[in-house]
Amino acid sequence: MSSKQEIRNAFTAELMNTPEYQIILNIKQTILNEISAPHIEESVVYNFETPLTIEQMNNIKLCMILEFGFYTDNISSNCVFIDMKNFLE
User: Using CA atoms, how far apart are residues 43 and 59, in angstroms rounded to an integer?
Assistant: 21
Q: How many CB atoms lie within 10 A of CB 84?
A: 14
Torsion sign, CA atoms 31, 87, 9, 79: negative
- Provide the whole-model pTM: 0.91
DSSP H/E element including 83: strand 79-83
Q: What is the pLDDT of residues 39-81, one digit of tens each?
A: 889 999 999 999 999 999 999 999 999 999 999 999 999 999 9
Residue 42 — φ and ψ, nearest 5°?
A: -70, -30
- SS3 state of residue 58: helix
Q: What is the pLDDT of residue 74?
A: 96
Check pLDDT > 90 for residue 38: no
The answer to whether 72 and 24 have CB atoms below 8 angstroms apart is: no
Largest CA distance in the chain: 45
